[in-house]
Amino acid sequence: MPSFTDPVILFFLFGLFAGACRSNLEIPPAISRFLSLYLLMALGLKGGFAIAKTGMTNQVILSLACAIGLAIIIPLLAYQVLRLFISSFDAAAVAATYGSVSAVTFITATQVLEQRHIDFGGYMAAAMALMESPAMIIAIFFANRQRQKLTANRNLSATSSHTDSPHSISKLLHESLTDGAQLLLIGSLLIGIISGATGEAIMRPFSVDLFKGLLAFFLLDMGLLAARNLSGLRQQSPWILVFAVVAPLCHAAIALSLAWVCQVSLGDAILLMVLASSASYIAVPAVIRYAIPEANPSLYIGMSLGLTFPLNLLCGIPLYISIASQLYGFAAP
């Protein structure tokens, strides 16, 4: 089924249309939060059940290692590029956003792969979890280094006020790993591994049968949010718009190259491309807003949710599948 006739994608497009028309259509925040948590819980369970079946094979280890490598490489590269045309604080915040991942983009990609009968490992949910935090840690490091430079240049006496920031590496790790959404994903993954085939049979009506419908409902909300966040990019540098479009393609190319070298399977390679090309618009902005208050939230949220998210959902996923399938010699339906 082509992407644009998939009900999930159509609901996202409908949300974009309603948001662009400034309709008063709105999903209550509590329901939106529930849908987000449900999707993460179902995804974690699916991943846990898959790992329980396969065990920690070489394929699993290679895929997870590639995910960790991408989570380090991408924010480092993105920061070096971004600081050429925006402030160091904004560059760190945007690098963190694009170095982390979008769970909804990943979940949508898994649905497309299933429709096209391309096998992938359920353990890739663990890869998504592993890619959440490294970019934030790297961004905080760059931001703290910039503060120290500014303090030294201005000859201020309050250097320790930033050095002893509550957002130290240990504090950041604690916030990242105990964040409700992140913890639910990891916990569901472990529960799936422990309960195995028995748990899969019990939870199937919850984690499989309801999944598609609730994903469509959630993407309707994401369409509304994406349309309304485009205003955050007004009067920004044109290079920001270029980065939001081109960087995901470059990140996906890096992911595909790494997956090809490491002989990762086609399905896992596509999901690595999707993860690498996505940008966080929930978890990372929530932390960065307080960790790097000097950065402009409308910039990194507008870029990730207003541009990169819809582009990946509508064009990126089919493109990544097509390119990877050609490289692997697979005729994707």
Is the sign of the CA dihedral 73, 76, 82, 86 positive or negative?
positive
- Identify the band that residue 155 occupies on the pLDDT scale cut at 50, 70 and 90: low
> pLDDT, tens digit, for every residue of 310-331?
999 999 999 999 999 999 987 6
Q: Does the structural domain 3-14+28-328 have CATH classification 1.10.3470?
A: no
CA 191 remoteness from chain centre: 23
Is the sign of the CA dihedral 8, 14, 18, 20 positive or negative?
positive
Residue 195: CA atoms inside 13 Å, Cβ hemisphere, count?
19
Continuous H helices in 155-237: 160-163, 169-178, 180-204, 211-229
Q: What backbone torsions phi and psi does residue 91 show, to the nearest 5 degrees?
A: -65, -40
CA distance 216 to 162: 43
- Identify the band that residue 246 occupies on the pLDDT scale cut at 50, 70 and 90: very high
Let me know how many helices (H) and strands (E) the chain has, helices first.
17, 0
Contact 233, 240 (CB under 8 A): yes
DSSP conformation class of 157:
S
- Residue 57 CB neighbours (<10 A): 12
Q: Which residues contact 21 (CB under 8 A, 6 or more apart)?
A: none
> pLDDT, tens digit, for every residue of 131-140?
887 888 888 8
CA distance 271 to 274: 5
Identity of the amino acid at 315: C
pLDDT of residue 232: 64
CA 195 remoteness from chain centre: 27
DSSP conformation class of 5:
G
Identify the top-confidence range among 13-17, 46-50, 145-149, 256-260. 256-260
CA 303 remoteness from chain centre: 13
pLDDT of residue 179: 63
CA distance 289 to 137: 14
Nearest CA to 169 among 293, 297, 295, 291? 291
Whole-structure pTM value: 0.81
CA distance 284 to 167: 13
Boundaries of every domain in the chain: 3-14+28-328
Identify the top-confidence range among 22-26, 173-177, 259-263. 259-263
> pLDDT, tens digit, for every residue of 197-229?
899 899 989 888 888 888 888 889 888 888 877
pLDDT of residue 82: 93
CA distance 127 to 122: 10
Two tokens at 78? 């993105």
| Token pair 């948001």: residue | 19
Is the sign of the CA dihedral 325, 274, 10, 299 positive or negative?
negative
